[in-house]
Amino acid sequence: MKEKLFGTDGIRGVANKYPISCEIALKIGRATGCLAKKNGYKSVVIGKDTRKSGDMIEAAIVSGIVSTGINALTVGIIPTPGVAYLATIFDDAGAGIVISASHNPYSDNGIKIFNGQGKKLDESDQAFIESYISNDKEFVGTDDIGVISAVADGNKKYSEFLKSTLDFTIIKKRIKIVIDCSNGASYNTAPLVFEDKYFETKFIFNKPDGKNINENCGSQYTETLSRIVVETTSDLGFGFDGDADRVIAVDEKGREVKGDKILAICSKFLKEQGALPNNTVVSTIMSNVGLLKYLKELAIKHIITDVGDSNVIKEMKKNNAQIGGEDSGHLIFSKYHTTGDGILSALRIIEVMAVTEKPLSGLAQVMKVYPQVLMNVEVDKSKPDFMKIKEIVDKIKQVETELGSNGRVLIRYSGTQPLLRVMIEGPDKEATIDYCKQICETIKAYL
């Protein structure tokens, strides 16, 4: 029986326990090496975030890669999108592997794999790796063992790429910024991008110790970032997550500007510049109803996908769209990169501010954010079809009718837990909470 290891964003779990164990990491390294060899490549790029467990997992993966006769190019601590980029510039690289659990606590870790074009593996390549791991046959080694090479300038190459996406001459005066590195992978990349010539930058949470990654900091915890932006009278702030593929901005007044608002700001700007291919933006079902309404006002075609950046990227490619993402701050600008990139997204915000000569607080007013309430209902592990129960369907329809165009109902099962997630958006907080409770109580009574 084949193992299903890949989730919506690679393989993830508690470090040093299945599936993030040395044994599985070794097999993943071998499987990726075999995949690269099958496709005619000679090396695999490996990077990691700042977690204590990263060295252990890297050692196992690298051993697996070189045992197949493929070379391992280790780039050390670097953002996830940095590995995706480096995989595209080394001619003989057939894959890029990132050891990171993104925004999760330090006790977790994960393994993300890109192909040689810097894109996340498709289902057939994932199946190849899962099949290899499930195969208990003894590995037959090769006489032509690969070598391990450290790439000393990986962050420099990646930062130069990032800077190449922005015409810095549009910045007329130094921008005062606070950057929260989440004690993660951006701590030694961001300073290479936000140089003194154009930015007066204060870096916070930039002293990783192997355990403090994402600890009350970064894109999920912006309270400190907001406070320091206000205290230092900065123009804005950016909070990255542990592997810097996400960003949440903070305006000069200390208010959060999340992914949906960033999409709204950049979509409007690109349309006005005549640079929005196919007049299309892609986001997920979790996007706020305010974004849906705003894009409709701008007469921009809006495509909605299931949760997960891989679904967003797939629809972007299908519809020739160059901008898409999630409210979490995982944003894709495919004109420049193949995957979500927090630092790249931050540069896009700076570009809009510089060209329009408007503060972020002003730009962020374009879209109204509707109050959102999320509640979970514990259910049986079999996850029965709740839409076959008349009482639940009737209650959902009643709430949807009362909300009309001023809100929406989204109910979905958790992908990892026996929970039914009930999300309601409405015109005001109290009414939204009440609607959410009504549906949850009905589900509890009849499911």
Give catalytic residues, as residue numbers.
102
**CA end-to-end distance (rounded Å), the chain:** 32
> Nearest CA to 98 among 241, 284, 247?
241
> Nearest CA to 420 among 392, 442, 443?
443
> Nearest CA to 50 among 186, 150, 155, 151?
186
Residue 22 token pair: 């040395």
CA atoms of 6 and 133, how far apart (whole Å)? 12
CA atoms of 261 and 166, how far apart (whole Å)? 21
Residue 91 token pair: 């001619």
What is the CB neighbour count within 10 angstroms for residue 46?
Answer: 28
